[in-house]
Each structure stands twice: as C-alpha cells, then as structure tokens.
Amino acid sequence: MPDTTLRDLVADLVAGRHAGGYRFNIQERVLRQFTEHCRREGHPDGSITKEAVEGFLYGPHLRSSTTRRNELALRQLVEHAQGVGWHAYIPAATTRVHVRHQPPYVLTDDEVRRLFAAIDTQPMSSFTNKAMVDPVLFRVLHGAGLRVSEALNLTLPDVDTDGGTLKIRDSKNGARRTIPISVRLTATLDRYMAAAHPAPEPGDHVFYSRAPGRPINQSTVYLRFRGYLADAGIPHFVGGPHPHSLRHGFAVTNLRRWAKDGADLAVMLPYLACYMGHADLRGTQYYLRLTADAYPDVMAKAQLRFGYVIPVISAPPEEQP
C-alpha cells in the first residue's frame, strides 16, 4: 500500500473487520480518535511511534478499563500497519482493570407484584406516553428475559403476534436469534401495538417516547424504573434493583420451575443460554449458581446431575448492568 496514510490504514482495518462479520464499532471510534490525536500532535505518516501511542493511551483522566480497551484496539491497528511495512510500536496491553462485581439483584415474587402494580397504576398524561408503553416494555423484559437494549431496538417487523415470536437483531454478542414468547405476552403485545401504532410503518420502533421512528433512551428507562421502585416501596441501592434485574429474574424463575418439575437441568441449561443470547454456557451457569444460593431446594436437585457447573464464580462481564 504505497503512500498509505494512517487514516487509510484505519479505514482498511475497519472495512476488513466489518466484512468478516465482527462488531467493530467501539474499536473504530477509538482508532479514529487515535488518528485525530496523531494529526493534532503532528506525528507523520509512515510509522506509529511509541510517543504517539503512549501520548494517546495514558492520559491521567482515563479509567483503567478505558485504557485497556484502547490498548487492545491499537494493537490490532499496529499489527495491520506492520503488515504493510510500517514500523509500529506495540502497546503492552497490560493495564490491569479493577472491577468490583456486585451480585445481581433478583426481585422476590412479592416485589415483582408490587413493582408491576406501581407501573400499571400510573396516571395517563398528555405530556408522555409512558402509561401506555411502560407496562408492556417492562413485561417484555420480565417475560422474555431481554436486555434493555434488545427490547428498545425492536421494530414492528420483529414482533410476530401470529407466531408468538420476537426477532432479536444486533444483540450484545453480535448474533441474531428468534425466541418464542408466552401466549399471554403475545396477546399483551398485540393489544399494545394496535393502540400505539395506529398507522404502522416498517421502521417504527415498538417502544418509543415521542415518535415511533425514535426509540426510548436507555437512561430514560432507568430513571422511570427508579420511580416505580419508589412507588412500590422497594429500596434502591448500589448493585440493584435495576431494569436488568428483570432479565436476571427471568432466568432464575425458569430454573426454579424446571427444578420443581424435575427437569434435567443439564439438558435445559443450553436451551436457556440460547434463548437469552449468551455467547456460551458460562453466563447461564452463573444463573444456576445464583438460583441455587437463593433456593436451597434447587441446589439439592442440581447437584445430583449438574454439580460440576455450580462453581463459585463472578458475574460474567456481559451480564453487568
């Protein structure tokens, strides 16, 4: 690649990653920031120097997790640059990230009842449509175990009320999946969409705030959830409850039900992993540990058949709020 610029290298790397099916959006943003840093500081094309790399990576204002993420992104760029003949300094990628994992909060059955009573009894208002949207949105989180982002990304073609399925696109692990939902949740969604989308367009988001073409912001969902917790008399604290607690509750509820029915959890766990969009079984095994801790009767049944996947482990990064 004669006369290649740093901007060219970044564009070529990004195009290659996207063509390979990888989600590379965060890395792309980091690499474009690095390109701008090099331009601003006057670093010439043709090499990637230690001064350029360390000046970008190790600012005092950056958190260790941000530095680590940027190190890993730059290592990919450096390897690509070396492949076209540039001299390029490789960052060590040894920044240690200190993460304190809070155990996920699972609402009790009583708390779930109180929470939805608060959501369902909010008054109608001419200033917001949340009285129409939120009872259904939070039921989808609780009844289908979706991540908040997955629910907010749903568009009208993703909901099949005839077949009783939801199509999840662009999930956290970059995979798509189609999941069945209960008859009750299907009927709830059917009624809601008739009311919320009287003139439906294919690009409309199922859950919206001001206009069907614009989804609700995740921070808005979090703030509304905090308000409903207060109305229900459920304390909020660091680590929970939060909207993701409804997803945790979906997993635990199903594991409890399967254990009660005498199902073989070794057989059922991969189905739960697939349904919830986990990249592998580790995330779902964590829920088995969580369920066993909260419900000793599940532990007794699970240990007989599946004890080897109930280690004491920390929550997987993908399930952190």
> In this predicted structure, which of 96-100, 137-141, 210-214, 233-237 has the lowest mean pLDDT?
96-100
Distance CA 320, CA 100 (A): 11
If one compares 140 and 268, the residue with the highest pLDDT of the two is 140
Q: Please report, rounded to a whole number, the percentage of residues in the chain having pLDDT higher than 90.
A: 47
Q: Which two tokens stand for residue 211?
A: 């206009």
pLDDT, mean of residues 287-302: 59
Number of separate helices (H) and strands (E) present in the chain: 13, 5
Instruction: Give yes or no for residue 312 having a pLDDT over 50.
Output: no
Please tell me the predicted confidence (pLDDT) of residue 309.
38
Please tell me the predicted confidence (pLDDT) of residue 117.
96
Residue 47: beta bridge partners? 87
The residue among 294, 163, 67 whose CA lies nearest residue 310 is 294
If one compares 69 and 231, the residue with the highest pLDDT of the two is 231
pLDDT, mean of residues 166-174: 78
- Treating both helix axes as pointing N-terminal to C-terminal, what angle do 296-306 and 281-294 enclose, rounded to 10 degrees? 140
Instruction: Give yes or no for residue 61 having a pLDDT over 70.
Output: no
pLDDT, mean of residues 168-190: 87
Give the sign of the dihedral formed by CA 18, CA 20, CA 22, CA 28.
negative
Across 213-241, b (16+ Cβ under 10 Å) vs e yields eebbeeeebeebbeebbeebebeeeeebb
Please tell me the predicted confidence (pLDDT) of residue 86.
94
Please tell me the predicted confidence (pLDDT) of residue 198.
93
Please tell me the predicted confidence (pLDDT) of residue 211.
83
Mean pLDDT of the chain: 83
Residue found by looking up tokens 């997955």 in the block: 150
Residue 215: beta bridge partners? 208
Length of the chain: 321
pLDDT digits (tens, 9 = 90+) for 108-148: 899 999 999 999 999 988 888 999 999 999 999 999 999 99
Please tell me the predicted confidence (pLDDT) of residue 313.
33
Q: Please report, rounded to a whole number, the percentage of residues in the chain having pLDDT higher than 70.
A: 80
> In this predicted structure, which of 36-50, 55-69, 143-157, 249-263 has the lowest mean pLDDT?
55-69
Please tell me the predicted confidence (pLDDT) of residue 103.
67
The residue among 285, 130, 286 whose CA lies nearest residue 217 is 130
Q: Catalogue the long-range contacts made by 110-116 (C-beta closer than 8 Å, 24 or more residues apart).
A: 111/232, 111/234, 111/241, 112/142, 112/249, 114/232, 114/233, 114/234, 115/228, 115/229, 115/232, 115/234, 116/142
Instruction: Give yes or no for residue 282 having a pLDDT over 50.
Output: yes
Element of type H or E holding 196: helix 183-196
